[in-house]
Structure 1
Amino acid sequence: MWDSTMFLSTLTPKFYVALTGTSSLISGLILLFEWWYFRKYGASFIEQVSLNHISPWIGGSETSTESTASTNVTNNTQQSVPECKVWRNPLNLFRGSEYQRFYWASKKEPLTYYDMNLSAQDHQTFFTCEADAGKAEYEIMQTAWRERNPVARIKAAHDALEKNPQCAPAYILLAEEEATTIQQAEKVLRQALVYAEANCQNSQQNEVKHRRDTNVLIYIKRRLAMCARKLGRLKEAAKMFRDLTKEVPPIMNVLNIHENLIEVLLEMQAYADVQAVLAKYDDISLPKSATICYTAALLKARSVADKFSPEIASKRGLTPAEMTAVEAIHRAVEFNPHVPKYLLEMKPLILPPEHVLKRGDSEAISYTFFHVSHWKKIEGALNLLHCTWEGTFRMLPYPLERGHLFYPYPTCTECADRELLPGFHEVSVYPKKELPFFILFTAGLCSFTALLALLTHQYPEPMGVFAKAMVSGLSMPFYYLLDKLEDQLLRNHSDNS
């Protein structure tokens, strides 16, 4: 056997400098390759090779479906990435009877001026028209929507009613902002409904005015249905929302009245009716929303959630029904990744804004505010969500260059949400992937070898002595085993002779 001490004594300091420099270079190249692979495919290359090729040789026959799915390329049907668009919240609260009561209790403004300004623009667009020129009551209402002071807005509405007691938009403003309870708001809206129906009937000969009066009528009916929902008259509310979905022309689908209907039906636990509504609106050609995606996931989870156990599923694998539910959850999380933390109460909830950004934090808040109770009613649904939602990010490319089911997650959502949500709320951002162990390991290895190379270059002789001591220390157990083996062989030879 060779003598390691004699061999090490022949090595010069230049050898140690070259050795550590080469090791640092190789580990640096491995780190760069690992980082590039992770950025492109969302997984560690070493980890993939270990799971897919080495693990089966040593007995691990099961491969990770999540890691395999992360490298699959799915054709994206939507090639263009649309810009961030702010939508009217179909379930927005009443300012006077809900938002204002929150302010009285907390002394915090629940709405931002940006959000309220968007509402003012909506009201001007839907509740006014060119034919209103010269009519004092409608001119007053045009300026009333833009008033920043709520007292001034309410006063303007009363002034408009003095000019014309049948001015339906003025009643809308009073129901929204002056009424301090839902009962009061409903009473004012019923007055507005009488005048809105009459105005809509009388303006059929004037297309511009009739379109405006139709918008007013649809708005009032929707708010009355929402009042019925809030007061517990669920069947009445469901019927009103169903009628509205039939009355509203296709061009007004942006109102998303079907989301109101879905929420009421879930409260009634009429899951078959909810599925029928989803079948109509969860179409590939129609825009998606958190309500559509997460309700579809909830219905899929409902059939398996009460019996789902992550321990049992990890041993026997997922059943077809469980796989369908998990895929539906992954689809929902890919669309809006902020919802699960609110549903699982990992983040505090606030009042929803009057406008939402699809796939953003504002939409997640609005959805959870109205739907978290529906998830809690189904036993095990939140547990299934908790066990599966984080796996979505291991299946998606990183950064999200393309989605499996939707267009890439918009980068503009954070800025828009900060405008829509109040300052006391911490805006959720797209969850970042954690770096795999092997990238951290190679980074540490590269840093360590680079430090060794630097020290060896600066202090070659002391580092050579240190290297000899390290090698000698590491070789001692080996030589100890050799001595023991040699003694055993000699003892056996002596016994045989």
Structure 2
Amino acid sequence: MASIDESYDSHNFAMFLNTLTPKFYVALTGTSSLISGLILIFEWWYFKRYGTSFIEQMSLTHVAPWLGGDVVPDDQSAAGGSGSEADASSFVGSGNNALPAPALQECKVWRNPLNLLRGAEYNRYTWVTGRDPLTYYDMNLSAQDHQTYFTCDSDNSSSGKPGDKLMYSAWREVSQDVRIKTAHDALLQQPDCVTAQILLAEEEAITILDSEKLFKEALTYADQNYKKSSAYTHTPEYEAINRRDMNVLVYIRRRLGMCARKLGKAKEAAKIFKDLMKEHPSILNIHENYIDCLLELTNYGDCLSILTKYDDISLPKSATICYTSALLKSRQVADKFSPEVASKRGLNGSELQAVDAIHRAVEFNPHVPKYLLETKPLILPPEHILKRGDSEAIAYAFFHLRHWKRVEGALNLLHCTWEGTFRMIPYPLEKGHLFYPYPSCTETADRELLPSFHALSVYPKKELPFFIVFTAGLCTITAALAFLTHQYPQNMGAAASVFFSAIASPFSYLALKLEPLFPTCLLQFKMV
């Protein structure tokens, strides 16, 4: 009885396969190839845009909880806002005993100490290329900074000056045209409104000279306001006004130094930054502006003294500190360095120090060498940067590439040695050598800071997700089957029949073996 039933089932299955024409197989494989191809395209786009697989992310988010797995936390929760104070433990480790830094401090966004002028530089780039170099997230952080630096609660009170009242709301405006118009209205009502002059110098002036002229006019009023408010700091209200006036005065002087640097007056700029460092040592990252001026003047001795002061284990690091230290040490040996000679006799003491400094700098920010060696195109730096991220690398290389080119052989030494850093840190996300492990959230934060037309530098380089490889293989195989079925319908039809028969054989054999274990009445059912 069992053999008769098995024969009957096999006969029906064979008849079903014989009724399938080659057109069915072409349609089946073609449809499968089309669907898998669409999935592949979407997966690839999602991976390039967000750095992860959509299917994998959905599986971890929605399927893993049902299976009892842990949900991977979103990196965006670690990308904090703009920070004005540093936590040294976030960036400095101790050799092989380095421990993971707190996730909250990994991706703090910092204001770029050498940020460009919007009107004279960023807007000119937009006019020429038609592309916006700043993201909404970056500009929103700048708006928050401006509100913190240039306003206080008394500006919006009944005792506030009319121009300051208008500027209190101007810094919150999204539209640049509205901000500029409000600044002009503020100057009409209050000719000595310093913050209005700052906004016009930043956003309306179309040349560096125009910006410098406006900043110099604002400096006179800013100095007067600061001296006046300093005499009445005995009340909380005047303390806030005095703090605001000091921020405005320091900002204007710093911007004048940056304008002088851009106009080729490096000595004048260096003097401004040096005076600011003496008078206001707490100013955030003012030493980076000073280092840039000293390198432009080739005053390497003073530059080394600045590095000695700020390149301390208790202070937060930056790409400027690490790579300038590497440049100064490379300068001593780069002009005579030869990789062929060094491979035969080994590195001497000075060369070893230079190479170690390069490895240290690359470990801190591995994105910089590609820009210094010009293997990756530079873009305008953003107004905010992420330390150890691609945004910081762009900001550093944009201003310091000329300094590396000026030192003969420095780029050649960097080219020969920088990739050796990665042999010391095979698992950079888990354990560092001289610094804490590389933060895993930099990619997410940098995507928010940098424009979409920039190809983001990702470290460590991610492998393609499994689902992209799987859908690519599925699409290729089904497309090949569709083509072969269309070209050789009879042969592929016979092959499909043999394939499906082979697939069905184990199940028929299993049913045959299980039949004696069950009552006959349970297995004897047929479709009429």
TM-score of the superposed pair, with normalisation by structure 2: 0.67
Counterpart residue number, 1:313: 342
1:298-447 superposed matches below 5 A: 298-432=327-461
Verify the 8 A CA contact 2:429 2:440 in the aligned structure 1. Answer: no
Shift of 1:340: 0.2
One-letter amino acid matched to 2:172: R
Deviations 1:277-319 (Å, cap 9, x if unpaired)? 1111111111100000000000000000011111111111111
Deviations 1:347-384 (Å, cap 9, x if unpaired)? 00000000000000000000000000000000110000
Shift of 1:162: 1.5
Return the alpha-carbon distance in structure 2 between the equivalents of residues 417 and 143 of structure 1. Answer: 29
Verify the 8 A CA contact 1:80 1:407 in the aligned structure 2. Answer: no
Deviations 1:465-491 (Å, cap 9, x if unpaired)? xxxxxxxxxxxxxxxxxxxxxxxxxxx
Divergent runs of 4+, >3 A = 77-81, 431-434
Counterpart residue number, 2:211: 185
State the secondary structure of the residue aligned to 1:121.
Answer: helix
Return the alpha-carbon distance in structure 2 between the equivalents of residues 127 and 73 of structure 1. Answer: 42
The number of aligned residues is 361
Return the alpha-carbon distance in structure 2 between the equivalents of residues 374 and 348 of structure 1. Answer: 18
State the secondary structure of the residue aligned to 2:433.
Answer: coil
Counterpart residue number, 2:148: 125
Deviations 1:82-113 (Å, cap 9, x if unpaired)? 33110000000011111111111101101111
Return the alpha-carbon distance in structure 2 between the equivalents of residues 244 and 234 of structure 1. Answer: 15
Distance 1:407 1:99, change over 3 A: same
Counterpart residue number, 2:21: none
Distance 1:184 1:79, change over 3 A: closer
Counterpart residue number, 1:237: 269
Deviations 1:48-83 (Å, cap 9, x if unpaired)? xxxxxxxxxxxxxxxxxxxxxxxx972227864533
Shift of 1:399: 4.6
Distance 1:74 1:399, change over 3 A: closer
Does residue 162 of the first structure (1) align with residue 188 of the second (2)?
A: yes
Return the alpha-carbon distance in structure 1 between the equivalents of residues 154 and 265 of structure 2. Answer: 38
Return the alpha-carbon distance in structure 2 between the equivalents of residues 399 and 289 of structure 1. Answer: 18
Verify the 8 A CA contact 1:84 1:413 in the aligned structure 2. Answer: yes
Counterpart residue number, 1:55: none
Pick aligned residue for 2:172 from 122, 132, 146: 146
Does residue 74 of the first structure (1) align with residue 96 of the second (2)?
A: yes
Does residue 110 of the first structure (1) align with residue 133 of the second (2)?
A: yes
Return the alpha-carbon distance in structure 1 between the equivalents of residues 100 and 331 of structure 2. Answer: 30
Deviations 1:314-336 (Å, cap 9, x if unpaired)? 11111111110000000000000
Verify the 8 A CA contact 1:196 1:216 in the aligned structure 2. Answer: yes
One-letter amino acid matched to 2:201: A
Does residue 221 of the first structure (1) align with residue 250 of the second (2)?
A: no
Counterpart residue number, 1:247: 279
Counterpart residue number, 1:89: 112
State the secondary structure of the residue aligned to 2:385.
Answer: strand
Return the alpha-carbon distance in structure 1 between the equivalents of residues 417 and 269 of structure 2. Answer: 34
Shift of 1:167: 1.0
Verify the 8 A CA contact 1:265 1:273 in the aligned structure 2. Answer: yes
State the secondary structure of the residue aligned to 1:74.
Answer: helix
Task: Give the share of equivalent positions with the same residue, in percent.
Answer: 68
Shift of 1:139: 2.5
Deviations 1:431-477 (Å, cap 9, x if unpaired)? 4399xxxxxxxxxxxxxxxxxxxxxxx9xxxxxxxxxxxxxxxxxxx
Deviations 1:375-417 (Å, cap 9, x if unpaired)? 0000110000001111111111415312111111111111111
Counterpart residue number, 1:491: none
Q: Which runs of 5+ in 1 are unaligned?
A: 1-71, 435-457, 459-497
Return the alpha-carbon distance in structure 1 between the equivalents of residues 462 and 355 of structure 2. Answer: 20
Deviations 1:203-258 (Å, cap 9, x if unpaired)? 011211100000000000000011111111111110000001111143x3xx2110
Out of 162-171 and 364-373, give the one that drifted further: 162-171
Verify the 8 A CA contact 1:117 1:146 in the aligned structure 2. Answer: no
One-letter amino acid matched to 1:147: E
Distance 1:260 1:104, change over 3 A: same
Verify the 8 A CA contact 2:371 2:394 in the aligned structure 1. Answer: yes
Counterpart residue number, 1:25: none
Return the alpha-carbon distance in structure 2 between the equivalents of residues 83 and 268 of structure 1. Answer: 34
Deviations 1:145-200 (Å, cap 9, x if unpaired)? 22222111100101111221111111000000111001000000011000000000
Return the alpha-carbon distance in structure 2 between the equivalents of residues 361 and 369 of structure 1. Answer: 12
TM-score of the superposed pair, with normalisation by structure 1: 0.71
Return the alpha-carbon distance in structure 2 between the equivalents of residues 84 and 263 of structure 1. Answer: 25
Out of 125-134 and 416-425, give the one that drifted further: 125-134
One-letter amino acid matched to 1:203: S
Does residue 172 of the first structure (1) align with residue 198 of the second (2)?
A: yes
Distance 1:328 1:73, change over 3 A: closer
State the secondary structure of the residue aligned to 2:96.
Answer: coil
Q: Which runs of 5+ in 2 are unaligned?
A: 1-93, 233-237, 464-501, 503-528
